[in-house]
Structure formats: structure tokens, C-alpha cells
Structure 1
Amino acid sequence: MNLLIFFFKRGCIAFLLTFVLFSLIRTKYFKESKIGSNGTREFLLSIFIAYIAVLFVFMFTPNVFIANKGIDLTSENFDFVGNFKDRIDSGSWGVNIHPFRTILSYIKYSGPFHCFTNIVGNILIFMPITFLLPMIYENTRKLWKIILISTSISIFIEFVQFFIGRSVDIDDLILNVVGGIFGYLLFKFLEKKNFKITKVAK
């Protein structure tokens, strides 16, 4: 719970600051980019960029920094495998390339709360990306593009996490892509229901 509070506070700050700064900068310095757009699309674009900032906070905060804030990562069932030097010296790379190993481990050995936050959390965290993208950019309204985008972003995240003391896990990749698909399906559902907000892309 302490870990969720830690990320929630910093995520809210990152979201608000990025939303305001991006909106101001885009309005002041990139007026030509707004030609052919509209207020709703600009608002959604600011939300999208702000959410990317939140994703950076969640995914790229080094575990050493979290631990230094007094949070017991072991009790929180949070991945912690040491920094890059620790991995080289110990031979413990903290990399899982076996699909569903980590998912099954959480189901078998973790409590409901930690199981939910680690499995469902990895799905939910990618849904806003692929829900918002098709609304902002019409050329992303294909399932194969959404899968490609989700996979690319997730691979990039896992690559960076290797160097900041976070685990690298193919199960995270799988869950992220599933979340990306769910976000896209939610967009398609609202589009079929003729929600006006899904019609703003140019």
C-alpha cells in the first residue's frame, strides 16, 4: 500500500505539471500544429502526453530511490534486482524469458492484493495509451498498429528497466500488450456506440 501511495502522489504531480506545461508550450510555440485540430482533440493530446509522463514515473523510477524513501520493496512484492553493476557482479540478471512463469508465481504465492496490482496493474497501465491514440491520430485505428505500438513501448520500457534495477520480464510485455488491445477495444466499442469523443481525430 505504501508503494501505491508513493507512486500515486508522484504520478499526480507529473500529470498536472506535464498537462499544464505541454498545453502552454503547444499553444505558444506550435500554433501551426493546431491548424485543422479542435479543442477536444487538443485536450485529449494534453492528457495523452501527461499520461506518458505518469508512465515514466511508474516505470523508470529506480528501485534504489524507492528503497531510500523507506519503502520495504520485499514486503510490497515489488521487483528489485539491484543496479547494473550488481547484476554483472552477482550473475543475477533478473531477466525472465519464460512466458507466464511470473504470472503463475504471483497467482500461487502472492496474496490477492499483490497479485492484482502486479498482474492487472500491468494490463491497466497500458490501456489509456491505446484508448487515447486512436482518438487523437486516425492513422492508428488498426489493431495491428496498436499491437505494434504496445509491443514497441513495452520493449523499450523493459530495456531501460534493466539498467535501473528493475526486473525484465516477458510476462510484463505480454500483459502490457493485452492492456493495449483492451484499450483499443474500448475505443472501438465507444466508436460503435457513436460517442462523439471518438470522432475528433484529423
Structure 2
Amino acid sequence: MGVINVTPDSFSDGGVLFDRDAAVDAGVRMAEEGAAIIDVGGESTRPGAATVDGAEEHRRVIPVVEALAKRVDVPISVDTYKASTANAALAAGATIVNDISGLRYEPELANVVAKHGAAVILMHTRGRSRDMYQQASYGDVVAEVLDELRESMSFAASAGVSRSSLARWAAPLRAAPLQAAPLQTARRRRPHATGPRPQP
């Protein structure tokens, strides 16, 4: 996966690809060099990072996704937890949503993924950037992370996201392993989630 942070403050390369043209050129180069997915994000979620509203994230991300969709043949992923940004990015040519919160920050994101028949990467976190260190307290970290990922997967399925569209990875230590699902777009579409929401 080639990662494009269209941000001024990401911990690894903040500001380097904040310019649209620089971000697009970097994505094209990553694809040419063998990246299987290009992941575009517009909000840093490092500890202590400031939040970005939907309008600003949209301004940063969507032009890059639109341009890359015309220039690369590999799937484009949008790194966002916001339903509005994901909806616009999927309409602009992205086919994968990469949600660090596992559908906990904005559960309505599950409906957006299902509507577009997109793939979704469900990740795990506790708290927000401002307090994630304080929230990262576990009795059995592997078992608890696996349980919370399963909650996210169940909620996604209740929204109509097909199992083949769920991309999830977890270490199989002291718990039943989760196998990586293929990154392919789903055909099944349902408009509303009906199951219990994963708890933040």
C-alpha cells in the first residue's frame, strides 16, 4: 500500500504531499513502483493531532482521488472515518474505505460502504487523538482487540457490507484468528444498518 497524507501534520511526512499536484504525482509514482493500493488521507490521527472538519477533509482529499482515478489502475483507498468524505471519495473513484475506528466514530459510514458496494478496512483504536493514550488500557490486549474487531465486522455485516468486502487483520495470539479477506468490491447493497452499533 502506498500512503498519501494530504496533511500538514502527519507524523511520518506531514506537509510533504499537502499540495494536490505533489500528492497526485506521488500516487502515480507509487503505482508505477508496484504499490497494490493507493491510500489517500486528509486528517492526521496521530496522538494529539487536531481534528479536521468534513469540509476541509473533502477539500484536501477529493481532488487527489479524482485525479488518481484517471491515472492509475490500482485500487484507491480513502483513509477516513467520516461518512460524508467516504461517500464523495467513492463517487470520485475510490473503491476502498480505510477506517481507523472500525465504524465507531461514525457508524453511518457502514451504510455508505454498503450503498457503494465498496470494500472496507476495519482497524482498531480506542478514544480519539486527544486521549487515545489514556484510553489504551487493556487487561488482555489481544483478546480485547479481537473482540472489538468482531463487533465492527458484525455491525458492518448488519449494514449490508458483504463478508468478501471486509478487510481485517489481527494477530492470532491466544484467540481464534481472523483471516485476511480479499480486497474486492461487494455487489450486495442494503441501505440501512439494523444490528447493534460497535461501542466507542
Look at both structures and tell me which one has the larger radius of gyration over its CA atoms.
1
Q: Going by fraction, where is helix more abundant, 1 or 2?
A: 1
Q: Going by fraction, where is strand more abundant, 1 or 2?
A: 2
Q: Normalized against structure 2, the TM-score is what?
A: 0.28
Q: Normalized against structure 1, the TM-score is what?
A: 0.28
